[in-house]
Structure 1
Amino acid sequence: MMNAAALASRAVIAASPAIARRGLGVNHTQGVTLGIIAVYVVVIALLWNIPYIRWVLWPFKMLVIAFHEFGHAITACCTGGRVESISLDPHEGGVTHMRGGISAVTLPAGYLGSSFIGALLIFCGFDIVASKIASIVLGVCFLLILWWARKDWLTIVTILAAVGLLVGCWFIDHAEPLRFVVLFIGVMSSLYSVWDICDDLILRKVNSSDASVFAKRYGGSSQCWGVIWSIISFLFMVCGILAGLAAFKQSFAQQEDDSKHTIPTM
């Protein structure tokens, strides 16, 4: 028994470097995905600050604002509160009207919730099948937003267009483009969270914000909480990328073959 245990222990030790290399190594498919993420970061950063052209990102901004408000809403429900309505303003703002809940949880949940959703989408964007599952969850979230949101045409058209884009990608090359759409929305959601916190709380010092309300109730300054939430948001994004690298090692061809047998499409 001792010899068997010793041999098993040696086998685990011998295999550890191989496991480590598998987890940390980046294959060709993953390298392409990382390159696309880098391109998305640059493109979003440029479009965000170029006058007039930045309106190209407007529909996606509306979507991540919806994620922000959904973070408030879901944590309110989970902590005993009740959501009365969600408003998505045409000027890229949003507000969640709710009663009750634990404010220490619901206040940061907008920023951190959208960042966490972004990290999950980035993780799923490394694989076609995972992107299919993510797109279904996204569709449910969009329908919930439509249920709660103020019934203005802009909100309805934006969310329905996003749902249409996701559905359309299902029927192109066995949903291969879907992973890149999911990846873009994930990067957009993660970056929006960090940028919005820095822009509104650190640079512009907006008085009315989740962080300012949090600071009044629990101490500290809105800028301090903004920095903390920004760091957490960035870490979420990094964790999403690392998890994707560790979990999805299949090549493009292998992913497409898996997609043919998992929720198959034309």
Structure 2
Amino acid sequence: MKKKVALFIVLAILLTQMPIIGQYFSIINTLIHETGHALIAIITGGEVQSVSLFSNTEGATLTSYRYWIGGFLTSIAGYVFSSLLAYLFMVLIFKRKSGYVLSILLGILIVSLIFWVRNPFGLFWVITITSGFLWVLLKGSKPALDNMALFLTSLLLVESVTSSLEIMYLGFVSPNNAGDATNLADVTFIIPALIWGTFFFVQSLFFARLGLKRYF
């Protein structure tokens, strides 16, 4: 199992560096990231107007919230949710419960399609990835399903770390254009974007290590 996990992570790293197809599959992390924002907005009493997914792997969640704490938690949720879910999926696969991984991902896809995603590319991506997902679920053998769960988990794990690294870098070189780190700097007033970017990267490494240490 150790060699198989290492192989899938290497494949995920190589795939995400490829043009077009790499970006297409990397959007799985974008969807999870934006789902984190949406869920926390709802939990804290806010509303989700829409979720947008873009071909360059960027995303945006338009939310409203009543209280300061809701805005703070919603802003912080994206990267943390991706890292936490990657860790959870690694644990489930280690316990040979890949079905739970696939069920959670399918649930997120369906909920996003019905309630949140509205931009044209986002709809195209969710519909095509869900169609492929359902085809494998219906036609695939148990080993094929296990491999798909590990493949998608590896993608999420890799992207949760690399996207956090990118936002940390932006926090240092372009703090006014560092996405969630910039939003948090605006919300907290005294904590700059570079600190939030560093926090996102450190927590991604923490959860990645927790997930991988079961295998290595």
TM-score class, shorter-chain normalisation, is: 0.7 to 0.9
- Give the conservation status (yes or no) of the 8 Å contact 2:23–2:56: no
* 1:80 aligned residue (45, 50, 74): 45
Aligned to 2:84: 116
Change in 2 beyond 3 A, CA 1:105/1:89 = same
- What amino acid maps onto 1:40 in structure 2? F
Which residue of structure 1 aligns with residue 143 of structure 2? 176
Q: CA deviation at 1:221?
A: 2.2
Residue by residue, what CA displacement relative to the aligned partner does 1:79-106 show, whole Å, maximum 9, x if unpaired? Answer: 1111111111233211111110512211
Distance 2:154 2:42 in 1: 27
**Contact 2:89-2:153 within 8 A present in 1 as well:** yes
User: C-alpha separation between the residues in 1 aligned to 2:12 and 2:140?
Assistant: 25
Deviates more, 1:85-94 or 1:36-45: 36-45
Shift in alpha-carbon separation, 1:206–1:195, aligned structure 2, 3 A: farther
Does 2:215 align with 1:215? no
The aligned amino acid for 2:10 is V
* 1:57 matched to 2:26: no
Confirm or deny: 8 A CA contact 1:190 1:234 kept in the other structure.
no
TM-score by length of 1: 0.69
Answer yes or no: is the 8 Å Cα contact 1:71–1:113 preserved in 2: yes
Divergent runs of 4+, >6 A: none
Residue 132 of structure 1 aligns with which residue? 99
2:159 corresponds in structure 1 to 192
Larger of the two Rg values belongs to structure: 1
Deviations 1:103-134 (A, max 9, x none): 22111111111111222222222355x21122
CA contact (8 A) 1:202 1:226 kept: yes
Residue 161 (structure 1) aligned with residue 128 (structure 2): yes
Give deviations 1:6-51, integer Å, cap 9, x for gaps: xxxxxxxxxxxxxxxxxxxxxxxxxx2x2222223323333434xx
Compared CA separation, residues 127 and 59, structure 1 to 2 (3 A): farther
Cα distance change on mapping 1:134 and 1:113 into 2, 3 Å:
same
Cα distance change on mapping 1:144 and 1:159 into 2, 3 Å: same
* Residue 193 of structure 2 corresponds to residue 225 of structure 1: no
Which amino acid counterpart does residue 200 of structure 1 have in structure 2?
I
Q: Which residue of 2 aligns with 1:235?
A: 206
TM-score, normalized by length of structure 2? 0.84
Kindly indicate whether the alpha-carbon contact (under 8 Å) linking 1:166 and 1:178 is maintained by their aligned counterparts in 2: no
Q: Runs of 5+ in structure 2 lacking a partner? A: none
2-structure distance, mates of 1:178, 1:166: 10
Match of 2:63 in 1: 98
SS in 1 for 2:61: strand
In structure 2, what is the Cα distance between the partners aligned to 1:156 and 1:231? 32
Any idea what SS the aligned residue of 1:120 has?
helix
Aligned position for 1:89:
54
- Provide the aligned C-alpha RMSD in A: 2.2
